[in-house]
Structure 1
Amino acid sequence: MNSKLGQKIRKIILIIIGAAIAAYGLEAVLIPNSVIDGGVTGVSIMGSKIFGLPLGLFLFILNIPFVYLGYKQIGKTFAIMSIIGIAALSIGTVLMHDIDPILSANDPLLVVASGGILLGVGIGIVLRNGGALDGSEVLAVLISRKIPFSVGDVILFINVFIFTIAAFVYTLESALYSALTYYIAKVVIDIVQVGLEKSKSVQVISSKSDIIGQAVQDRLGRGVTYTLGRGGFSNEETDILQCVINRMEETKMLSIIKEIDPSAFIVISDVAEVRGGNFKKRDIH
């Protein structure tokens, strides 16, 4: 019980920290330079500018319906963590509203890069700990179930609409910089959530699979698995080698395979998450 409570407290603290980082990125970098984010956050920033009301008020009110949808579709824990994150973001933007900007519009690319990184780090920390700061993705999941488009397509459409409106509220230049900020933030979110050592799955079809597998274990420190396959043209049985590595090991893996069998057939694909088994790299030094 104490361990579970400690984990929940730790997650709540990290969610608040992540929300504070995102709030700082908005108030100290992006908003003073007329750059917005996508999703509900972008709509809230424009609403705050048009109506002259606090950004935190719009962030909290506009996200509540999506938190309710998240509660229905994902669960109570997600909803609670999201409410904590959104409340922290809303309060953070109010407290930091009068903070001095750290960058000026004289260097818009620096504004976009730093703002996107701060937003990405903050949102990524919140997502990694089971919460959310923006309800647009929950909406995209629900819409995608009703129409023949993926979640990513729906999110893209929503944000194209938001950035188009931003071109009228601000300027076309600000809208384009906002779109670039959103892209940078999404990349950073992926890095924070998955980590720099994003996993990859490697499949190797070769007549020398056993030799390659032994070399991978000895020189790369990764475990391998063999499955029996049969060639469609040759009708011959062969071992298919499978291995999970991180992306920084990809070049070394390819080097080992090509050294042993230059004609080997190799398939490499991204892996969203790896759990269980003995994925931790064995010390080979």
Structure 2
Amino acid sequence: MSNLPPQIQIAEVVQNKVQHKKLSAGKIIQRALLITLGAMLMGVGLEIFLVPNKVIDGGITGISIMLSYLSGFPLGFFIFLLNLPFFFIGYKQIGKTFAISTIYGIIILSITTTLLHPVPALTQDILLATIFGGILLGVGIGVVIRYGGSLDGTEILAILANKRLPFSVGEIVMFFNFFILSLSGFVFSWDRAMYSILAYFAAYKTIDITIAGLDESKSVWIISDEYQQIGDAIINRLGRGVTYLSGEGAFSGDDKKIIFCVITRLEESKLKEIVSENDPSAFLAIADIAEVRGGRFKKKDIH
């Protein structure tokens, strides 16, 4: 029993409930269905395209493919076995929801690859198999990541190693995958290792597109003395809302108005035209945004 006063104990319980708010049944079902879809897509990419053509992916999956080839055991067995330790690591380091989503996705992936193993390859063309296999892998992994899980323990390992090594998580993952993809040259052949790098690149780029979406959003920062005209033009001609922020020039000490807004990549050219027309000397900065929620991002009708 705690020695704290009842009022403080109650406050702590309320705070914990706020911090650990449970997902609704609908959200849980949606997450489970999409993680299932993502894991199955990755399984198809592996067993129908890459594995029959001796092309591998990076990470734990790549190691599993090589061990399966050398031992004759099912690919799904090694995917589950090698990723299992990272389930426990993920539980402690990243959280319960992530760990459960990850182990569920890995189980679905293992079952899918086992069931599809007897199915013949869809194509014997090594280039087509590499590209389409990589794309399917990227879509599958991206969907699972987007909905709170993972299908490979490499990233978790990199997060832990990052605390002890003077390298970023991305650099550790890249080094790890370079080692695995190079190793495939000894297990299969060097041309297959090069195709594996191509598949990895296709998967990597597709993951980015899947997570961010095709309709990429961009944040825009504009500093101009003509802020009112530029802001009105963005509202009326683009149908986007704007926010005026107050700033101060570090060199001049002058008060400045900063325009902030969010647009899509298709609207970028039009926005640059608006800024140039109203103030050619305006400061303009545009950056990619992975996700936009809330506020008034929805586009208004343009009349």
Counterpart-to-counterpart distance in 1, 2:226 and 2:127: 50
Q: Match for 2:75 among 47, 52, 55? A: 55
**TM-score, length-scaled by structure 2:** 0.89
User: CA, structure 1 residues 46+209, in 2 after alignment: closer, same or farther (shift >3 Å)?
Assistant: same
Q: Contact conserved, 2:211 with 2:290, CA < 8 A, in 1?
A: no
Q: Match for 2:52 among 26, 32, 36? A: 32
Aligned residue identity for 1:134: D
The answer for the alignment partner of 1:99 in structure 2 is: 119
CA RMSD of aligned residues (A): 1.8
Pair 1:45-2:65 in alignment: yes
Counterpart-to-counterpart distance in 2, 1:222 and 1:73: 40
The answer for the alignment partner of 1:77 in structure 2 is: 97
Q: SS at 2:299's partner residue?
A: coil
Pair 1:182-2:182 in alignment: no
**Offset, 1:265:** 1.3
User: CA, structure 1 residues 128+232, in 2 after alignment: closer, same or farther (shift >3 Å)?
Assistant: closer
Pair 1:279-2:266 in alignment: no
Q: Which range moves more in the overlay, 166-175 or 84-93?
A: 166-175
Pair 1:161-2:179 in alignment: yes
The answer for the alignment partner of 2:228 in structure 1 is: 210
Counterpart-to-counterpart distance in 2, 1:251 and 1:62: 48
Deviations 1:46-94 (A, max 9, x none): 1101111110000000001111111111111111111111011001001
In structure 2, runs of 5+ residues without a counterpart are: 1-22
Q: Match for 1:196 among 214, 217, 227? A: 214
**Offset, 1:193:** 1.5
Counterpart-to-counterpart distance in 2, 1:157 and 1:281: 42
Deviations 1:135-187 (A, max 9, x none): 11111111112222211111101101111111111112111211121111121
Q: SS at 2:73's partner residue?
A: coil
| Structure index of larger Rg | 2
The answer for the alignment partner of 1:261 in structure 2 is: 279
**Offset, 1:229:** 2.3
**Offset, 1:283:** 2.6
**Offset, 1:4:** 1.4
Q: Match for 1:223 among 215, 223, 241? A: 241
In structure 1, runs of 5+ residues without a counterpart are: none
Q: Which range moves more in the overlay, 76-85 or 271-280?
A: 271-280
Counterpart-to-counterpart distance in 2, 1:191 and 1:91: 26
**Offset, 1:121:** 1.2
**Offset, 1:236:** 2.6
